[in-house]
Amino acid sequence: MCGARFPQSGATNEIRDYDSGPSAGSGGRSRSGAGPPGGSGRPGAQPPVEIDKTAPTEDFKPSSLNQPGKQYPEVNSQRRVRTQLRAPNAQTVLIDMGGVRYPMTKEENGVWTGVTNAQDEGFHYYQLNVDGVVSIPDPGTQIFYGSSRWGGAVEIPTHDQDFYALSYGSREPGSSAGQAAVEALKKEGVNSVFYESPLTAHEWQSWRRSLHEFAQLAFQK
């Protein structure tokens, strides 16, 4: 699976191979506790990400990748994501997104609610981790195949894109879900394009053909 955002200038703003890393979040970053692995004993190690505990701006809207009629996950103008999960018997539930695990708070009715830090614009895989044992897709989102597993996803709206492009090889799992995601984006007013590479899987040829198709759209007058 390959996706790209093309700004109006015609230059590619972002290209991502959404199956290139071990993480359930975007970018293939590693996951450990509340943030990327850290520690002074390893060269280049990154410190844990600080969780934003400030109250989010209450202008949340449902993600364009939600299942029909589902309110959560939501995205606000700060690019923060809020979601819920009903799990009355769980002891802990975490949002696992972009290499960071964000704590969720349990309400009296057994519903857990959590909010992430501000996320980069674009497409993000994520999972919900229950009791540190089971990681599941968010039941409110459509299901996508990436990082060698099925998972939920959220779309952070971009401010500079001319169109959003998404492609799969015809032999790659999740092609139909990708096409459905593009249709959902179109309904939300996002200019989106889907391309399926004939008779290829998750391989270089699929990516090459996708760039050929999308470049023609990006640079056309």
pLDDT tens-digit map of 150-204: 889 999 987 765 677 889 999 988 888 888 888 988 888 778 889 999 999 989 9
Contacts of residue 74, defined as CB under 8 A and 6 or more positions apart, other chains included, come to: 60, 61, 62, 63, 81, 82, 83
DSSP assignments along 63-93, one per residue:
-TTBPTT---SEE-TT--EEEEEE-TT-S-E
How large is the average pLDDT for residues 97-118? 96
Which secondary structure element, helix H or strand E, spans residue 208, and what is its range? helix 204-218
1 pLDDT band (50/70/90 cuts)? low
Query: What pLDDT was estimated at residue 86?
Result: 97
pLDDT at 207 over 90: no
Fold of 18-26+55-157: Immunoglobulin-like (2.60.40)
117 vs 53: CA distance, rounded Å: 9
Query: What pLDDT was estimated at residue 43?
Result: 52
Q: Give the residue extent of every domain in the chain.
A: 18-26+55-157, 161-221
